[in-house]
């Protein structure tokens, strides 16, 4: 398993004014971006449920994604709790990587963490020689779409109807690396 370099992210005091977040419960501790461990699973499940309340992964799915792709899963850790994660998986021919999931807890959104997770993934994929990054996003998810566009992703393929089943349309976004 290839270790991720750990990245320390200062507490939000150094990044944004606390007034922006005064009405939200938040943890004001520095975050570390690091590779996931088995001990993280319960926290990972909690973060996923918070990020995707309508369609969280069942525990067993996240467990098996960890078993299969644990070295492709980055988390944001404040030392006690996780606050975000990203999972990316590369096809067996090494050509394309899918960003399978990206989530940041509500109390930590809007401070650049989603972007940091994505930038680390893209850095890693480029270093590995992967040629294309690809992801799906709900067509109404303006925040995520804005993030992906700002990173250079485009949606030439447009919306695929029923991509994840009936009435589960998804926008397909791609980025040449």
Taking CA atoms, 132 is separated from 43, 95, 99, in Å, by 30, 6, 11
Under rule CB under 6 A, residue 111 binds ligand COA: yes
Of the pair 102, 130, the CB lying nearest ligand COA is at 102
Residue showing the smallest CB distance to ligand COA in the complex: 114
Of the pair 52, 95, the CB lying nearest ligand COA is at 52
Under rule CB under 6 A, residue 44 binds ligand COA: no
Q: Give the β-pairing of 96-104 and 132-137.
A: parallel
Of the pair 45, 113, the CB lying nearest ligand COA is at 113
- The contact mask relative to ligand COA for 58-97 (x = CB under 6 A, - = no) is ----------------------------------------
Of the pair 68, 119, the CB lying nearest ligand COA is at 119
Give the footprint of ligand COA on residues 126-145 (CB under 6 A): 137, 141-144
Binder of ligand COA out of 94, 150, 161, 164 (CB under 6 A): 150
Output phi, psi for 147, to 5 deg.
Answer: -60, -50
CA distance 112 to 68: 28
């Amino acid at each position: 398993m290839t270790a991720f370099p750990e990245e320390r992210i200062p507490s939000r005091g150094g990044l944004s004014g606390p007034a922006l977040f005064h009405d939200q419960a938040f943890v004001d501790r520095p975050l570390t971006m690091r590779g996931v461990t088995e001990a993280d699973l319960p926290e990972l499940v909690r973060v996923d449920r918070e990020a995707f309340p309508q369609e969280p992964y069942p525990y067993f799915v996240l467990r098996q994604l960890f078993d299969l792709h644990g070295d492709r899963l980055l988390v944001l850790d404040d030392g006690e709790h996780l606050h975000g994660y990203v999972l990316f998986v590369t096809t067996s021919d090494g050509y394309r990587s899918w960003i399978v999931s990206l989530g940041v807890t509500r109390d930590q959104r809007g401070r650049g963490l989603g972007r940091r997770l994505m930038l680390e993934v893209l850095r890693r994929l480029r270093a590995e020689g992967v040629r294309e990054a690809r992801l799906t996003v709900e067509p109404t998810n303006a925040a995520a779409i804005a993030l992906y566009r700002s990173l250079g992703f485009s949606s030439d393929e447009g919306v695929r109807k029923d991509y994840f089943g009936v009435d589960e349309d998804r926008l397909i976004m791609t980025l040449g690396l």
